Every structure is written in C-alpha cells, then in structure tokens.
C-alpha cells in the first residue's frame, strides 16, 4: 500500500508540475532583470526577465516556512508594483499559494483523495 501511495503522489506531482508550468504568468519585473530561475522555497521558484516574471509552483512540496517566504516576496513585489493590475496579480498569487498549502497540509485529506482517485479509476475486485 505504501508503494502504491508513493506512486500516486509521484504521478500527481508530475501532473501538477505540468499545471504549474501552465500557471506561469508575466508582470513587469523591475530593475533586477535576470534569466535564471530562483528557488524561493521548496515547490516555489521564479524567473525575472525583461518585461515580466514567471512563477512556477509545485503545491505538494509547500511548507509553512516556504509560504511565509513567498508571502514576504509577493508583498515586496506588490509594494513595488506600478499599477493596480500588478498589485492584484501579486495578491492573487499569494492567495493561490495559501489555498494550496491549506489543501496539501492535511495529510489525511490528501491520502483519502488519492485513494478515492485510484479506486474510482481502478476499482478493487469484489471477490
């Protein structure tokens, strides 16, 4: 059962990685334009480039400390934002990260969801 659970978590993480890549968004990056990805915390990284910033998330890896670090980062970016649209972008990002952390921090809920997903896709034989 542990092996199956580990496989499910790995599969789900890979699916979410693809989802995270599609979540990349652009906003003005400011004077520190770089092309390299910077890991802000486990499961969270960003890339500041000319004309924007890309964010990448992997929610199963979020930690309480990482969420706090991300919140500090987004608050700094929102304070530097030139328009209300940019400020809203950063507020949406922190809201998303906090929501995902809340969902993934409850291990019992995650296990039940993964069990349900597995059993609904591959039901156990009745005999």
93 φ, ψ to 5°? -65, -45
CB atoms within 10 A of CB 87: 16
Q: Is the pTM of this model over 0.75?
A: no
pLDDT of res. 48: 86
Strand duo 37-41 + 44-49: pairing: antiparallel
**Could you tell me the mean pLDDT of each successive run of 10 residues in the chain, 127 residues long?**
56 56 45 71 90 88 93 92 90 94 88 87 77
pLDDT of res. 96: 94
pLDDT of res. 32: 45
Helices (H), 23-106: 64-80, 84-105
46 φ, ψ to 5°? -140, 160
Alpha-carbon gap, residue 31 to 33, rounded angstroms: 6
pLDDT of res. 98: 93
Alpha-carbon gap, residue 102 to 11, rounded angstroms: 20
Contacts of residue 55, defined as CB under 8 A and 6 or more positions apart, other chains included, come to 23, 24, 25, 44, 45, 46, 93
């Amino acid at each position: 059962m542990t092996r199956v659970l580990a496989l499910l978590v790995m599969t789900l993480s890979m699916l979410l990685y693809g989802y995270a890549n599609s979540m990349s968004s652009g906003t003005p990056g400011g004077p520190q334009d770089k092309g390299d990805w910077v890991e802000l915390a486990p499961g969270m990284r960003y890339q500041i480039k000319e004309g924007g910033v890309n964010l990448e998330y992997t929610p199963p890896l979020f930690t309480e400390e990482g969420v706090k670090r991300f919140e500090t980062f987004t608050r700094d970016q929102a304070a530097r934002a030139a328009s209300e649209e940019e400020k809203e972008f950063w507020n949406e990002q922190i809201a998303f990260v906090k929501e995902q952390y809340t969902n993934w921090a409850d291990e019992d809920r995650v296990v039940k969801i993964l069990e349900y997903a597995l059993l609904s896709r591959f039901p156990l034989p009745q005999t």
